[in-house]
Structure 1
Amino acid sequence: MNVFFVCGAPKSGTTWLQRVLDAHPEVCCSGEGHFISRFSIPAAKVVNDYNVALSVEARQVYEGRPYYDGVDQAEFDEIVRAFVLRRLGARADGQTRWIGDKTPSYTRYLGVLHRLFPAAKIIHIVRDPRDVAVSSMGHNRRAGFAEAFEPGADQNRQVIAQAVKLWLEAVTAVDAFARSHPSLVHEVIYRDLHANPIGEAERLFGFLGAPTDRVLMAQIAAATSFEALSGRPPGDEDPSSFLRKGVVGDWKARLDAEAAAHISESCGEWMERKRFAA
């Protein structure tokens, strides 16, 4: 079975990309497995405590000659790998040839994922950081933080600062990994997926090696459009919905000049690389 992982800064469109991938009959892409942060890292602490206890007992009971060696990195990786594969395959069926998981924060753990699955492919989605900030504002407002959309409010500035920080961390981490492993990384630009969903789907599934029949790509694009997923046309905003508005460039109406300038100054070099025009 072919394995892949989907990542990106929060509010960059990772969930939409997951749904596009999962719509292919030979691809199974689940979401928010958090296999490293919520399983591997906590499990490593358990194993470390276990090894320490073995060492103490070996010294105190068996004169330094234990019956069990400690769990080394290779054995631990084998345990984690088996767990991840079992979870990834839980929704797979007889047609499935590619299995993956979308967790935005995988951008922080690309080296670990590569050690566990050396052939796994990484799909990274990048969105204009100004739209990421606006989407983050909407997410926080939906979570009950009323001032998230109020220009100049402390809460608004905090949300924007955090969005910028996470965006920069994500794009720089993936760029560094891609330079070492160029054949394993595919980048999707949110704007391009929005403007040309069929063409971007062809590129995406072609990268995986999955069939890219034009009729199938059109069906996937239609099934995963904003209107199909939300029941509303793009631009028809629902502040209470995870699928809030479905447009590109909403920052122009939502960000005040100071916030927009701050983002452009902080992210300028990377915005130029990703062709996000001012």
Structure 2
Amino acid sequence: MINVSPFFILANPRSGSSMLRIVCESHSQLCVPPESGFMEWWYPKYKTWQASDNRDQIKINLFVKDILSSKKIETWHLDSEFLFKMIEKENPRNYAEIIALVYISFGLKSNKDLKVWGDKNNYYLHKTILLNKIYPKAKFIHLIRDGRDVATSYMALQELHFSSNYAPKLSHNIEEIAEEWSANNMLLDSFFKTIDKERVIRVHFEDIIKNLKNECIRITNFLKVPYEESMLEYYLLNKKRKIEPQETLDWKKKTLEKPDIKNIGKYKDLLSVKELAVFNTIAQEGLKEFGYE
């Protein structure tokens, strides 16, 4: 049986979602590959996939070729022949199942005792309706970070120089950042209120930093897998296994470091009085809703 009950890590950019992805990827029964939006991109072309299509090698070849042409998918290092044979063997009956096999292929490549696969993609916070349509039993982890610290992270990107084509293009205008942070998190909150509450868990970045073990236990309980101590050593495993691809590591280097409480409340020193006032005014509703008053 192909697992079509994945989980999605959704968050505003610069909220620690890459760190949480690596924490989960450090678990022997979970797999969360690097981000790529192919699930949404190829939906129009392959949404009518059915079991009879698995008997057509040309169709399978085309699907595999399309998937492996997707933006960022090269960071997954998938084997086209392995994916092709897996599709033939597992006989996916619909789009949800054939897409699941792409993720499962990634997990098996790492020799995992895979029980649950997941996806981390900030882009998908605007695609929740489609995600829910494809996977109506999916679970969602809403990761949220104090928007004022998010703002300092947005602004810090200005000082970095990237050679990657995938470098983030984020605003450094405090008004725009405040509006985006508030709108994105309120959008997620509104969607989560439309689905079964047992399918959603909210995790605060600050709680991960302060007590990673406790949050890992919450998450593994939510996903119904046993807690593993390896999750606490995510940064060491990232160094060893290169879980975060080199193509995106320039702006995600903190995933190579242990949780640091200094990353909480940095805005108090880095934002000016004026910037802080602007952010607090614009994002007042979101700050109150999510406990950051």
Please, what TM-score do these two structures have when normalized by structure 1? 0.70
CA contact (8 A) 1:21 1:27 kept: yes
2:212 alignment partner in structure 1: 197
Q: Does residue 126 of the first structure (1) align with residue 129 of the second (2)?
A: no
Could you tell me how far apart the structure 2 residues matched to 1:36 and 1:79 are?
Answer: 13
- 1:188 is paired with a residue of what secondary structure? strand
1:60 alignment partner in structure 2: none
Could you tell me how far apart the structure 1 residues matched to 2:198 and 2:253 are?
Answer: 32
- For 1:16-57, what per-residue CA distance to the aligned partner results, in whole angstroms no more than 9, with x for missing partners? 01011111111011121213554336x48xxxxxxxxxxxxx
Q: Does residue 113 of the first structure (1) align with residue 140 of the second (2)?
A: no
1:169 alignment partner in structure 2: 183
Percent identity over the alignment is: 22
- 2:131 is paired with a residue of what secondary structure? helix
Could you tell me how far apart the structure 2 residues matched to 1:272 and 1:6 are?
Answer: 22
Amino acid at match of 2:278: H
Could you tell me how far apart the structure 2 residues matched to 1:229 and 1:255 are?
Answer: 31
| 1:157/1:260 CA distance change after superposition, 3 Å | farther
CA contact (8 A) 1:6 1:101 kept: yes
Q: Does residue 242 of the first structure (1) align with residue 256 of the second (2)?
A: no
Q: CA deviation at 1:230?
A: 7.6
CA contact (8 A) 1:6 1:106 kept: no
Amino acid at match of 2:286: W
- For 1:219-251, what per-residue CA distance to the aligned partner results, in whole angstroms no more than 9, with x for missing partners? 321x125x88689xxxxxxxx653359511111
Amino acid at match of 2:253: L
- 1:30 is paired with a residue of what secondary structure? coil
2:38 alignment partner in structure 1: 35
Q: CA deviation at 1:139?
A: 2.1
Q: Does residue 139 of the first structure (1) align with residue 151 of the second (2)?
A: no
Could you tell me how far apart the structure 2 residues matched to 1:8 and 1:125 are?
Answer: 5
Query: Unpaired runs of 5+ in structure 2?
Result: 47-92, 163-169, 241-249
2:117 to 92, 95, 99: 99
- For 1:49-93, what per-residue CA distance to the aligned partner results, in whole angstroms no more than 9, with x for missing partners? xxxxxxxxxxxxxxxxxxxxxxxxxxxxx7642442122112223
Aligned residues: 221
Could you tell me how far apart the structure 1 residues matched to 2:268 and 2:146 are?
Answer: 12
1:84 alignment partner in structure 2: 99
Amino acid at match of 1:268: Q
2:226 alignment partner in structure 1: 211
- 2:117 is paired with a residue of what secondary structure? strand
For the aligned residues, what is the CA RMSD? Answer: 2.9
Amino acid at match of 2:42: F
1:259 to 272, 275, 283: 275
Could you tell me how far apart the structure 2 residues matched to 1:249 and 1:228 are?
Answer: 27
| 1:30/1:157 CA distance change after superposition, 3 Å | closer
Query: Unpaired runs of 5+ in structure 1?
Result: 45-77, 145-155, 232-239
Q: Mean Cα displacement is larger for which, 90-99 or 7-16?
A: 90-99
2:288 alignment partner in structure 1: 272
1:224 to 234, 239, 248: 234
Amino acid at match of 2:10: C
Q: CA deviation at 1:14?
A: 0.6
Runs (4+) off by over 2 Å: 35-41, 78-84, 156-166, 227-231, 240-246
Q: CA deviation at 1:252?
A: 1.1
| 1:261/1:183 CA distance change after superposition, 3 Å | same
Could you tell me how far apart the structure 2 residues matched to 1:228 and 1:260 are?
Answer: 37
Could you tell me how far apart the structure 2 residues matched to 1:163 and 1:10 are?
Answer: 10
| 1:157/1:205 CA distance change after superposition, 3 Å | closer
Please, what TM-score do these two structures have when normalized by structure 2? 0.67
CA contact (8 A) 1:230 1:243 kept: no
2:86 alignment partner in structure 1: none
| 1:228/1:258 CA distance change after superposition, 3 Å | farther
Could you tell me how far apart the structure 2 residues matched to 1:5 and 1:35 are?
Answer: 14
Could you tell me how far apart the structure 2 residues matched to 1:186 and 1:157 are?
Answer: 28
